């Protein structure tokens, strides 16, 4: 659902090729939202067959292969609205790698697990502090501010949680 929503959402701003779609998604959602080209092009091919997206033309690339230009269709805009409603309402969220690690960390020596989590805590804490000090971009659109603030709150919550977790772990 995330890939569909991101591709259709970016195309709702105007027609573009796959590389531009990838660049815009990364710009809007940050480096952790690095959707690979295979997923983007597979998605575009699928969305064309569903009538959500039109392949409108091919353009010669500048020292690169030909680029296919796509645009969202009215049916695609309706699908995007459905996906957005589902995304905003979904409170389950995907399982993150750290959740999987926490669930199975008993398979590591206790001191190693504590060391890794301590290092994670230090990185997240530094990132959180840097984010708090960073000035918001001038003229930042409201939707970008919402994403930035949401991530900041999540980061702060994880830093706080890990600060409380570390003393409870065995090791050292």
- Give the separation between CA 170 and CA 172, rounded to whole angstroms: 7
pTM: 0.72
DSSP 87-106: HHH--S-PPPHHHHHHHHGG
User: Could you give the strand order of the β-sheet that contains 53-59, starting from the edge strand earlier in sequence?
Assistant: 16-17, 67-72, 53-59
3-state secondary structure of 66: coil
- Give the separation between CA 151 and CA 159, rounded to whole angstroms: 12
pLDDT tens over the chain, length 172 residues: 788 999 999 999 999 988 899 988 888 877 777 788 888 899 999 999 999 999 998 887 677 778 889 999 999 999 999 999 998 888 887 777 888 898 988 889 999 999 999 999 999 999 999 999 988 888 888 888 888 899 899 999 999 999 999 999 886 5
CATH of 2-89, one of 3.10.620.30, 1.10.10.60, 2.130.10.10, 1.10.10.10: 1.10.10.10
Smallest CA-to-CA distance from 97 within 112, 117, 111 is with 117
**Domain ranges within the chain, ordered by starting residue:** 2-89, 97-168
């Amino acid at each position: 659902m995330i890939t569909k929503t991101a591709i259709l959402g970016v195309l709702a701003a105007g027609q573009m090729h796959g590389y531009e779609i990838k660049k815009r998604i990364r710009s809007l959602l940050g480096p952790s939202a690095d959707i690979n080209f295979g997923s983007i092009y597979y998605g575009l091919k699928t969305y064309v067959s569903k009538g959500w997206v039109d392949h409108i033309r091919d353009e010669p690339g500048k020292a690169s292969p030909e680029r296919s230009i796509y645009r969202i269709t009215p049916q695609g805009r309706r699908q995007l609205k459905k996906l957005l409603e589902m995304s905003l309402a979904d409170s389950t969220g995907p399982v993150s790698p750290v959740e999987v690690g926490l669930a199975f960390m008993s398979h590591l020596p206790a001191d190693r697990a504590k060391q890794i989590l301590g290092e994670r805590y230090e990185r997240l804490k530094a990132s959180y502090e840097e984010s708090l000090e960073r000035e918001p971009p001038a003229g930042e659109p409201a939707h970008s501010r919402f994403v930035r603030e949401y991530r900041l709150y999540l980061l702060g919550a994880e830093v706080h949680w890990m600060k409380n977790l570390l003393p409870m772990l065995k090791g050292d």
